[in-house]
Structures are given as structure tokens and as C-alpha cells.
Amino acid sequence: MSYFVRSEDDAAVKTANRSFDLRNPLLLIPSGSDGHPSTDFNTGAIESGDKEKGEGSSAGNDLKIKAVHDSDACDDSRSSNSDVSEDHAGFIGLLGSTSLAYNNLVGPGIVFLPATFQRSGIIPTIFTICLVSTLSCFSSLHFANVISKYPGNHEFRKEIEYSEIFKHFGGNTVYLISQAVFFLGIMCQIIASIVDVAQVVDQFFDTAHAIQFGPGPPKAITWNAASCSDDELGSCYPFTGDGQFVLTGGYVISALCFMPLGLMDLKENMLWQIISFILTVVLILQFILAFWNKGLSYDNVSLWGESWGDLFGVILFNNALCTCIPAWLYEKKKDVSVSGVVIGSSFCSAVTYIGLGLVGALAMDNVPQNVLEPLSSGYFGAVSNISAQLFAFTVIGLGIPFFCVVTRLNLVSSGLCSNYTGLFILSILPLVLSWTM
């Protein structure tokens, strides 16, 4: 039997029932099983097939190897096996990548950390922050590694969204579960962000206006900061006792400002992500300084705490880095290190959690669930009041359109809905659900 070597893009390679190394341009392909001569499709040369039975030495001793080294053909075959756009070049550099990762780690849940420190204690909370940040870091790196194993995507040149990777490696059932979990998880982030922003905006004005739906016909209601006593300063919130279905002015302003940004694509949102990252760092430093100037007391926080039921959930709620990994990998520049961005952002976010959470807990004897509310009430001064408004808009608020974008990309790329349907779902549904919160 004689042998010859063909390039990978030869049709005979695709029909041969044997494994081969895609990086090796030399492939041994058996010929002559049907008595026909073998042809080198690169040169047109013809190699003789098996000799007739009884002539010369046995077929097992008749071996001819012809080496054909055609790297261009191998490159073409790799491209033909995947829907890779060779013209695609990522646009997200190191600053944009760091901003995107940090913003998804320091999410709306960070405003709950001072209260969490008071309930759960210093040691359990810090330990849980370090544990969750480490697990989130390794999970994100593992997810990136799995995405690189997708055929033809070793350089992240294919546009693969979150649930597609589950479908390829886990099958249709796992794919459907991932779609449901992803959608519900991101929807919780969006709803929490809208509620936080709306509450702070309502509290910013001395007089807030709203429409109350039920009991009875709709009617206009107002809230005035002067109605709060000195004892309630920092814990007096607008419209808390006016029923569940109250359409506030802060809610309307939040929706009008941020939901239109959800209609943009990822590239158009990157400038806002960078702005959000810079302001996040500056504003959190201002909050820590305001807490420090107010005075810290270790009597406000115990070492071990007294309630740990929601400790893990509150901290885990902050870590949403995995949700943006697929979209980021496709759009990042080639020189941006995946491990460097993920590890660096995870470390910085853990330091941020501990810094803001612990100092905020030490500054107040009874921290409300949302630390932005006392900050925006004037209790910590006018600068902190303005900073709380900016934080709600630029940090929490700008996370709303980004979550809408990545969720829409996941739904549309999976073929579950059209782009217009995705825009409708991610623009209307979060507003309806958050209104009832």
C-alpha cells in the first residue's frame, strides 16, 4: 500500500476516519484501497497505487511518503471550519477592559455592604468577600478558557455569547437552563439598579412628587423632607408608607435617562463605562473620607456579628464579571491580557468592598440597608449629598444600559428573538417589574 501526504483542506482529509493535529501541515493519508492512483492536488503529481497482487514485495512493505508542506492551505482550512471574521479587530483596550471588569464587580450591591458588616461582623464578612472574589476570579478565567476551546476561537475571533458556549459543550438542556439563569440574574441586577437610583433621586429634592395607584382612583401625592424628624435623619425615605404601586418622579427620571442608552450597542456604551469607572473610584474615596470625618466607633460593629443568613448572597450579588466575559473577549484588543484584567479587577474590587463596607459600618450606629440614603439626606454634608446623586447616576445608573446590552446580545445571537424583540423586552420589562418594588 502506498501513502502520500495532502494538505488539510483536501477533501480526502475530511473523509478520512482518523485523528490528526491541526497544527501539523503534514498528514499521512492511505491510498490505493480501491486500486486508484493517488493524486497530489497541490502539484498535480500522480503516485502509483498498490501493485497488483502477486507482484513484487507485499503491500505492507511498499510504502511511499510524499511530503507536501502548504501552510497557506492549512490556514485556509482552519478559516473554512469556523465563522471567523478575519477583518474583525477588537476596540476595547486596557483602560476599557479594566473599566468594564471593575464596573461589573462593583455593582449596585455594594451599597448594602456597610449594613452587612454590622449584621454579620468584621471577620465573617471580610472572609466571605475574599472567598467570593477568589471564586469569581477563577470562574471568570475558567470561562474564558472554555470559550477559547470553541472550534476556531483560540484567539477569540468568533462572536460567542454567554449561552452559546453552554449549548456547544453541554447540549440543549444545559443551554436552556443557562439562558433562564442568565436572564433572571441580569434582570435582578437591572431592577435593583433602577430602584436604587429612583430612591436617591426622590430623596434629592426637598419635595418629591408621585402618583398613587390604589386603593381608589389614582391620585397625586407628595413627600417633603421637612416631615422627617431629627431622629429619622438618614433613615427617612420618600413614599415608604404609601402602598406598593406608587409612580414616583425619581422613577420616571431614572427611566428617561438610562433606558434609552440600553438601545445602543457595546461599542457605544464603552465611553460611558470608562466614565463610570473613573467616577466610581473618586466617589467611593469621597464616601470613605466623609465617614472618617464623621467619626468611627468600634462599638458599632462586632467581630463575629449576629446574623449571617444573607451574608453570602449580598456579597455574591456584587460579582457579575462572568456575565460580560464573552462579549468582552470578542471585542478586546489582542494585546490585552485576560488574566491580568480579571485578577487585577478582582483584587481592586475586594479592597473596595472592604474599605467602603467597614468604614461605613463604623461611622453609623444603625446603618440603613442602602447606605446611599443617609449619604444623600445631608447627614454627612452637602458634598456627600451631591456625591451620592452622582454615584447613583454614574455608577449604578450606567450599569442599567450595559446589562440590557449583554442580555439582548445573548438572546439575539442564540436565535431566541429578533433584535427588535430583544430591545422591547429589555427596555419595557425591567421598568414594569421595578415599579412594583
397 vs 114: which has the higher pLDDT: 114
Domain ranges across the chain: 94-224+235-436
Chain segment 257-300, per-residue pLDDT in tens: 887 888 888 888 899 899 999 999 999 999 999 999 999 999 99
pLDDT at 121 over 60: yes
Q: How confident is the model at residue 342 (pLDDT cuts 50, 70, 90)?
A: very high
Among 45-59, 133-147, 202-216, 392-406, the range with the most confident prediction by mean pLDDT is 133-147
**% of the chain surpassing 90 pLDDT:** 37
CATH class of the 94-224+235-436 domain in this structure: mainly alpha
Measure the CA–CA gap between 94 and 201, rounded to whole angstroms. 33
Among 232-241, 372-381, 401-410, the range with the most confident prediction by mean pLDDT is 401-410
Chain segment 83-106, per-residue pLDDT in tens: 444 567 789 999 999 999 999 998
Chain segment 141-194, per-residue pLDDT in tens: 999 999 999 998 988 989 899 999 999 999 999 999 999 999 988 888 888 888
56 vs 278: which has the higher pLDDT: 278
pLDDT at 7 over 80: no
Chain segment 322-334, per-residue pLDDT in tens: 989 999 999 999 9
Q: How confident is the model at residue 353 (pLDDT cuts 50, 70, 90)?
A: very high
Lowest mean pLDDT among 122-131, 135-144, 397-406: 397-406
Residue range 74-78: average pLDDT?
Answer: 39
